Structure 1
Amino acid sequence: MRFASYILTGAAACGIIGFIPAAQAQTSAPAQDEVADIVVTGIRASLQSAQNIKRNSDKIVDSIVAEDIGKLPDINVAEALQRVSGIQVSRDRGEGGGVAIRGLSQVLTTMNGREVFTAGGGRSFNLQDVPSELLSGIDVYKTPSADLIEGGIGGVIDLRTRKPLDKKGFTFSASARGRYSDLADDVKPMASVLVSNSWDTDAGEFGILVSAAYQERAFATDIINVGAPNGRSDIIAGQTVNTPNGSYQPAIKGNRRRIGVDGIVQWKPTPELEFYGQVSYQDFRSIQTQFGLNIPTNGRTAVPGSATLFDGTKDVESISYNNVSFSTFGVARDTYDENFQYSGGVTYETDKARFNLDASYSTSKNTLYYSELDLTGVAPLAQQTVSGSVPSMLLSGIDLNNIASYTIGAMTRNENYFKGDMWAIKGDASFDIESPILKSLNFGLRWAKRGMDFTPVRFFQTPGTAAARLNAAPYADLFMANPLNSMFSGSGNINQDFLVADPDALRSMDSFNAIRQQLGITAQVGVSAPGIYSIDETTLAGYAMAKYGFDLGSVPVDGNIGVRVIRTGLNVTGNRLDAGQTVPTPIDMDSNYMSVLPSANIRFKLSDELQLRLSASQVLTRPGFGQLAPTLTLVPAQNTGSSGNPDLRPLKADQLDASLEYYFSPTGSLYLAGFYRNVQNFILTGTVLRNIDGIEYSISAPTNSNQGKIKGVEVGGQTFFDFLPGLLSGFGVQANYTFVDSSTGTSIAGLSTPLTDLSKHSFNVSAIYEKGPLSARLAYNWRDKFLTGLFTNNVVTGLPVYRKAYGWLDASINLDVTKNVTLSLEGSNLTRSKTHTYYGRETLVGNLEQDDIQVLGGVRVTF
């Protein structure tokens, strides 16, 4: 594979990807001229523009385009991307969250070609942070080119914002919507506005655009986490059977707010020269409360004869226990993201050359506040049944609404403070060449300096002593009846009515400290000094790329070839705890390495409608900052911890890609693509036991593995049925299917598994209708089961944990009341998809989770 990459020597030429006018058809040049006066709008225009980008790019790319302002489908970027073939999206409280491209989650995000990020332990940009209304489109680069910024072995996602000179004159667009979430039973507002204008003056063309979006969403999630299986020989005589080690039952409710602001200025004093500046801001917060029961059963005495097994297995289906300790919890968990991007530059173009100089500065903050106060008790009887639509765990013999039934449990406060910034400057030059083969030469340099700082606050205390915990009755004012007592439609399979702490009384540090003092806890909340770390990274990259074109017999051939060379310098400071140590050792470590990334793309235009692409390349992704961090973080409540590894090496991948594409109409196409990835230095997480201050902790830490392999196929297409008569000609369809097979080593010697969070099979189908003032879309997204991790207990080592297959149904309908006013109605998660996980086989039940059905209605005005 490496040999093939170097033979092609590739540097995939990015080229300038922009909008092909929506009025143009996508056949040969004469056909384009024949239909140049046709005006295409709405969904058709968006599909046509996206198809044009894919067809005319010099690499393999898929796009989503909002040809009409404010009509990019879905609410945030991650949700919009779930419609693209080869992309699988994880869910976070019912919203699109993380993204993997062709099985790899190591994805680089750029905005108008500039790298963006959200501060945190990783390197990625939180795609939930960006309201979709701010974007004109999203490009997903599945093969690299030398002028694309390195860092995404999965691919590059470029978010494109609107520019004032893209559409001359005055433009105004505004929308207002309400979003109803059924489990939360609440309606929250959404609004957006865009104002743009341009002028022809004696000093040249001048344009300014300002856009903003505000989104709120109420959400609720019901979860029952059946405890991981535990091998026990004291349940049924003469057998070792697998019993769940308890049940964890959080009910979650919260509110998310998303704000995005974008401002762009363009000035073209001459047709050849342009100056520009842009400021972007994203603010995302999630205010979340959760209440529930935690009922561990490890070591508890089973009621004799109460255990039943699933037929043909040694897996317990139902069981009862005597005298089970449990806890109830009230939790406040709030997260905040705040990102700024500042950029500016100059572009100069002549007939034969193009130059661009671009500078940017980004800052980001990510903050977590977590507070918890527990009540503890002992129930005379606990009855558990894991079969059925809702797994059962019921406590009896105790009044859960009587404060006298409880003692005060653990009090926890965790705060994470991530801060990051990045300076970057890059220059690009392109020169057209007149020769039979060579068409242009492209060169560029990029310097970037990125820093990340992390400061943790940790507090975990239980008042009283182990022998004499505090009776809860004197502190009744700190607790209340569980307000989220209708989980899974009020299921009687779990206890719904019990007492919990009030999270609102725990949120601020002042009120938290007041409760701490009231409970007689003298230990102070403070910064965990051993957990502080800082990482600085400087990169210097240069590339050279050639674009070529020639005729191979009667077949036109074009493409690009080039190489990107990067020097990376890394400085890590913090405190490191090595094996055998009980006191962390300060470290200040520097490292440097050079990377050479060749790439090549070639396209064969087999006919006006049919083209074949081939690509070979090498790519890399650097380890996440949290993975590189030397510090150790402990979770005393669970006797677990995690640490980073500053010795990690970057991930590298050899890639081969092929794509056969058939374009039979301006909005109609079919494609078949294949891909292969050979990844070295995959980062795996292993676990070791370590005694710290007399307590045995299970510590997880990342290490580099040997390699992983990913191969797969994508097939898809889109069309409108224009040949049908009358109103039927408004129907259309988009569909794609992806098969991905993967294998990688694990932290367990000799064990290989598929990549985590990767489904082998997935597909998207969208039924579309657009005719006159009416447009509608019904979209279904489905993915097969996938591995979420490995579990080890006293009986098995490396038991795979799977999430079952699931589908997600969305729908929307828009009605143009006038040419300027549109009414919309949308729905998301209409079939209420549920999360089901299991340990190796479905009789070892894991997690059950459900999220809101959402309905949105509103109006959009455009001038």
Structure 2
Amino acid sequence: MNTKRSTLIGTAIAVALFQQAAPSLAQTATPAAEGVVEEIIVTGIRASIQQSLEVKRDADARLEVVTAEEVGKLPAHNVADALRGLPGVNISSSSADEGGFDEADRVSLRGTSPSLTQTLINGHSVGSADWFVLSQGNNVGRSVSYSLLPSELVSSVEVNKSSHAKLQEGGTTGTVNIRTRKPLQFSDSLTVEASVGSVYSDQADQYDPQLSGLFNYKNDDGTFGVLLQVFKQERSLRRDAQEIPGGFARITGRNADGTLSEVGINNPDLVGVYAPGLVGSTLFEQVRDRTGGLLEVQFRPSDNLTLGLSGFLSDMDANNYNRNFMLWGGSFVNIQSPQPGYTVENGVLTNATYAGVAGRNYAVYDMIYREATAKSNYITFDADWQITDSLRSKVMVGTTEGKGTTDRQFIAEVTTNAGGGASWTTHGIGSPLDWNIGGNSTPAGVTSFGTWGNQQVIATDQEDWINLDFSQDLDAGPLTSLDFGARFADHERETQSPEGATPGDIWSDLQNGETAAYPSDFGSTIGGSFPRDLWYFTPAALKEAILANSTWLSDNDGPTGRHNYGGEWKVTEQNLAAYVQANFAGDAWSGNFGLRYVNVDQEINSYQAVASAANADVSSLFGNWIYQDTKNEHNKVLPSANLKFNMSEDVVFRFAASQTMTMPDYSALGASSWGSDLNKTGGGGNPNLKPVLSTNFDGNIEWYFMPRGLVSVGAFAMDLKDYVAFGTETRMLYSELTNQLEEYLVSVPVNSNGQVTGLELVYEQPIGEWFGFNANYTYADGKTSHTWADGSHNLLGTSKDTYNVGAYFENEMFGARVNYSYRTDFLIGLSGANPYYQDDFGTLSVALSYKPTEWLNISVDALNLNDPTLTYYQSAFIPSSFYSNGRQYYLNVRAKF
């Protein structure tokens, strides 16, 4: 990676634009003639900020808003990145164990996990999909993958921090509602826009195209309109890392048969001490190719009826190749004594050297190439009918589906470096481990070959729904209107692993296949001393050898079929809801009170491994299985109340109280037990989990001291009953290595209780006519009654401190915006049997724009300018991984005709 060159490119562009802006600045700043009133027209960034604050101010509930112009001007290229700077909003880049990336993918609110935040589009659900195989099968939440949602589609995004009865249930801590553009909202009868650009990823050293277009037509009468938006966006990723899969584990000092080993006899001081099971030099490369569009049609046959039809599709190809050359501590630390001079600190074997033992493998090397896709789509029909002067109804019917697939996994797992010995030195979470392995690290040093996961994975997320909403205006003193309605939804989330290939003699072909080398600058930005001069089989060589020497089977149910029942499960939910909400208003106050009744029928299907085929319902090459079916019913009346009081012309006080309910993650309910043969850990579901019921309180004071100016102070509290945490238990699972059931330490979701209390501070102020500044800070204190394996009571996803600082400049021709976002460390979940965390990190982004004419706009966005290293850890003394993704630079030329 040429870091200096990439930084200079961004700096040069910024300086050039600023130099061009200077004369315009000087001219515009000339004082108006005495006695002349100068009209100031606010557009662009300033207009969007003002509009967002006006919507926030007028709302009865706690609301944050990002408008379309603001999305266009923010350094953001999906909706999650656009929300990063809002108070109380946290973003993360992954949903399972795929590690940290450079693009925001999940959104959460107020120190909680993304699964407790609901995402809607135009007020309805959207089927989500993931490209990563574990997110498709073993770790499936209720959050939406924002990598499928480009910011170009957005008219506005509303973040509801307080609930009200007519808002769809499912967001314990809040709801994000993405609103798309509608054709009859456009001022002109014909609008055509096109955007052509490129993104440069400096670590991948690759330029990729970014294309989008918009066509909107509405007739002169404003009774018919059609909008079409399309996008084609490609991006190359390269991620350098040191990974420690499964974390550190305690040294047992025993052989595989349970007898005392050399370590147990000669080094009893090491028994119970933590040591790495695997430490890897990890290179990940991927191309994300996102294609899709949005079609909106509106027809107004009469003044009191508007009909709408909407269709959306986002299809992302996400083929990826992960190479992980690993010191294999699990093969020797329990049975071989380190050489004298080793050190133990804080219960961790921090420095150790192992002499080579003939025939013993000290390294294992995984090369995993996956062909993966993720798709999301919906079709909706809606009718907005003003039945009478005081009664209005809106009907919406729709269907949505998300589908994530891993069609094939081309995997080589080889053992190598036999007899070479190994060594390592840890540095806590400050920097990666220094480690080394003796012996032969070339293809000639391979001692054994294996392949696993040669299996198809198909994950679908589908929902059909109908919403019926009514609003009746009233003139009954402070009671101004009554909202009431109902909703029915049929939702199904399913993961299948229907077929696969039986491997043959792959190694005979592969060992002579084409190889390539790690990049010469691999790992240069994360530090540490570990193997970097490494080889790997090219994706083509790996794919060709496996295809040529594997038999793809279609006999899914037979005893010789590769139907992986342990990777299959389904959760079906039928949701019926009804609500009534009374809206009130007085001279200086307004608010609402409502009740929402929710009834959810669940059916959960999965499989459990058994030892004997005689006791099994189904069998395959992955063992014997019995079918499990669990049915649950949950119903609850959820009250909510919101109060807004205008303390003065510019000061608003708000208070909100509500109960909200969220179902547990789909995989937490349904996932069949799965395990890793390398470290004998795994995970599984619990179909008896109860939904999370949260009692929420929120108070806020907002001072709108000038246009685009705001100071606000707020506090919130959430009491989470039946919060979902994770414990561990021993389960008998099928081992592909031994073809029998073995003991695995499995992470299992359990109900617990949790609490979150916090504080939000916001300050926004324009400086003169063209400049402005914004800052916000969120404090969240989350804890659970559940005790994790490390003795903590942390809540999943809770960063104690989050803040955003930004500034902007804009005149008629030039615009610039800079933003820095930071969050402290937070608990992610379990890696194997160990809780693991993401360390604190911050990201710096810059957006520049130049508008030489009314119809042309040129923009440059620079993301992750500080090139943060994303660090994960098991404890302060035990790291889990270090990731570097580099910087991204987007250049776009947008024309409006």
What TM-score comes out, normalization by structure 2 length?
0.83
Residues 364-399 of structure 1: per-residue CA shift (max 9 Å, x gap): 211124331122121423222223744322222x23
2:172 to 153, 156, 166: 153
Cα pair distance change 1:593/1:698, threshold 3 Å:
same
Once the 2 structures are TM-superposed, how far is the Cα of residue 150 of structure 1 from its aligned partner?
A: 0.4
Identity %: 26
Give the structure 1 partner of residue 398 of structure 2: 360
- Unpaired segments ≥5 residues, structure 2: 1-36, 95-100, 130-135, 254-262, 553-558, 617-623, 735-739
Match for residue 731 of structure 1? 771
Q: Distance in 2 between matches of 1:850 and 1:386?
A: 19
Residue aligning to 1:620: 661
Greater Cα offset, 250-259 or 831-840: 831-840
Call closer, same or farther: CA 1:79–1:360 in 2, change over 3 Å: same
Q: 2:409: which partner in 1? A: 370
> What's the counterpart of residue 109 of structure 2?
101
What does 1:95-494 correspond to in 2, within 5 Å?
A: 95-104=103-112, 105=114, 106-119=116-129, 120=136, 121-168=140-187, 169-201=189-221, 205-226=223-244, 228-232=247-251, 234=263, 239-240=269-270, 241-298=273-330, 299-300=332-333, 301-308=336-343, 313=346, 315-323=348-356, 324-349=361-386, 350-368=388-406, 369-377=408-416, 378-387=418-427, 389-396=431-438, 398-403=439-444, 405-456=446-497, 475-478=510-513, 480-484=515-519, 486-489=521-524, 493-494=529-530
Query: CA contact under 8 A between 1:576 and 1:630: conserved in structure 2?
Result: no
CA distance in structure 2 between the aligned counterparts of 1:126 and 1:48, rounded to whole angstroms = 29
Per-residue Cα deviation, 1:175-201 (whole angstroms, up to 9, x for no partner) = 111111111110111111111121134
- Give me the whole-angstrom Cα distance separating, in 1, the residues matched to 2:640 and 2:720: 16
Q: In the aligned structure 2, how far is the partner of 1:732 from the partner of 1:100?
A: 27
Letter in 2 for 1:263: L
Query: Residues of 2 paired with 1:559 and 1:47: CA distance?
Result: 25
Query: 2:805, 2:820 within 8 Å by CA — same for their partners in 1?
Result: yes
CA distance in 2, matches of 1:765, 1:288: 34
* Deviation at residue 429 of structure 1 after TM alignment: 1.1
Do 1:242 and 1:316's aligned partners in 2 also have CA atoms closer than 8 Å?
yes
Structure 2 CA distance, aligned partners of 1:492 and 1:714?
A: 38
User: Displacement of 1:444 after TM fit?
Assistant: 0.7
Give the SS at the match of 2:523.
Answer: helix
Equivalent positions of 1:614-693 (< 5 A) are 614-629=655-670, 631-692=672-733
Contact 2:682–2:832 (Cα < 8 Å) also in 1: no
**2:106 is matched by which residue type in structure 1?**
G
Matched letter for residue 318 of structure 1: N
The answer to whether the 8 Å contact 1:117/1:123 transfers is no
Is the 1:770–1:776 contact (alpha carbons within 8 Å) kept by the matching residues of 2?
Answer: yes
Which of 787, 790, 808 is residue 768 of structure 1 equivalent to?
Answer: 808
Please report how far the alpha carbon of residue 130 of structure 1 lies from its aligned counterpart in structure 2 after TM superposition: 0.7
Residue equivalent to 2:894:
860
Residue 571 of structure 2: aligned partner: 535
User: Bigger shift: 493-502 or 59-68?
Assistant: 493-502
Deviation of 1:415 after TM superposition, in Å, equals 2.7
Say which is worse superposed, 51-60 or 582-591, in terms of deviation. Answer: 582-591
Higher mean alpha-carbon deviation, 701-710 vs 452-461, is at 452-461
From 850, 857, 872, the counterpart of 1:822: 857
| Structure 1 CA distance for aligned equivalents of residues 829 and 231 of structure 2 | 37
User: Displacement, 1:791?
Assistant: 7.4
Note closer, same or farther for the CA distance 1:96–1:819 as it changes in structure 2 (3 Å cut). Answer: same
- SS of 1:200's partner is coil
More deviation in 192-201 or 556-565?
192-201
Q: How far apart in 1 are the matches of 2:521 and 2:74? A: 35
* Contact persistence 1:774–1:816 (CA under 8 A): yes
- Report 1:827-846 matches (<5 A): 827-841=862-876, 843-846=877-880
CA offsets per residue over residues 746-780 of structure 1, 9 Å max, x none? 36599551212321001001111112311101110
In structure 2, the CA distance between the partners of 1:461 and 1:804, relative to structure 1 (3 Å rule), is farther
Amino acid in the other structure paired with 1:857: L
Distance 1:284 1:268, change over 3 A: same
Cα distance in 2, alignment partners of residues 402 and 371 from structure 1? 18
Equivalent residue number for residue 15 of structure 1: none
Deviation at residue 848 of structure 1 after TM alignment: 1.4
Cα gap change, 1:706 to 1:406, in 2 (>3 Å): closer
Give the Å deviation of 1:801. 3.6
Shift in CA distance, 707/458, structure 1 to aligned 2, threshold 3 Å = farther
Aligned residue in 2 for 1:850 = 884
Contact 1:196 1:209 (C-alpha < 8 Å) held by counterparts: yes
Alignment TM-score, normalising by the size of structure 1: 0.86
Aligned to 2:475, the other structure's residue is in SS state coil
When residues 860 and 363 of structure 1 are mapped into structure 2, their CA distance, relative to the original with a 3 A threshold, is: same
Over 3 Å counting, the alpha-carbon distance change for 1:594 and 1:803 in structure 2 is closer
Specify the SS of the correspondent of 1:412: coil
**In the alignment, which of 90, 109, 131 is matched to residue 88 of structure 1?**
90
- Post-superposition shift, 1:813? 0.7
Give the Cα separation in 1 of the matches to 2:443 and 2:405. Answer: 36
In structure 2, distance between residues paired with 1:457 and 1:248:
31
Q: Which residue of 686, 707, 723 corresponds with 2:753?
A: 707
C-alpha distance in 2 between matches for 1:448 and 1:286? 30
* Mapping 1:534-573, distance limit 5 Å: 534-551=570-587, 556-573=588-605
Query: Is the CA contact 1:372–1:503 (under 8 Å) kept in the aligned structure 2?
Result: no
Shift of 1:403: 1.9
The letter of the residue matching 2:886 is D
Give distance in 2, aligned partners of 1:320 and 1:502.
33
Q: 1:379 to 1:754 in 2, by over 3 A?
A: same
1:451 counterpart letter in structure 2: E
Partner of 1:745: 785
- How far residue 562 of structure 1 moved from its aligned partner, in angstroms, is 0.6
- The separation in 2 between residues aligned to 1:182 and 1:755, in whole angstroms, is 36
What amino acid sits opposite 1:423 in the alignment?
A: D
Aligned to 1:9: none
Residue 754 (structure 1) aligned to one of 794, 813, 817 = 794
Do the aligned partners of 1:741 and 1:754 also contact (CA within 8 Å) in 2? no
Quote the offset at 1:701 in angstroms: 5.0
CA distance in 2, matches of 1:590, 1:246: 40
Secondary structure of the 1:488 match is: coil
Of 671-680 and 341-350, more deviation after overlay is shown by 341-350
**Offset, 1:563:** 0.5
How far did residue 69 of structure 1 move? 8.6
Q: CA deviation at 1:134?
A: 0.9
Measured in 1, the distance between the counterparts of 2:347 and 2:664 equals 41
By how many angstroms is 1:603 displaced?
A: 0.7
Q: Paired residue for 2:650? A: 609
2:607 to 557, 561, 575: 575
The C-alpha deviation readout for 1:44-68, integer Å capped at 9, x for no partner, is 1111111111111110010111237
After superposition, the Cα gap between the structure-2 partners of 1:72 and 1:498, relative to the gap in structure 1 and judged at 3 Å, is closer
- Aligned equivalents of 1:701, 1:785: Cα separation in 2: 22
Q: Distance in 1 between matches of 2:503 and 2:548?
A: 15
Structure 1 gap ranges (5+): 1-34, 465-469, 723-728
Q: State the superposition RMSD in angstroms.
A: 3.0
What is the alpha-carbon distance in structure 1 between the residues aligned to residue 76 and residue 224 of structure 2?
32
User: What secondary structure sits across from 2:339 in the alignment?
Assistant: coil
Aligned length: 797
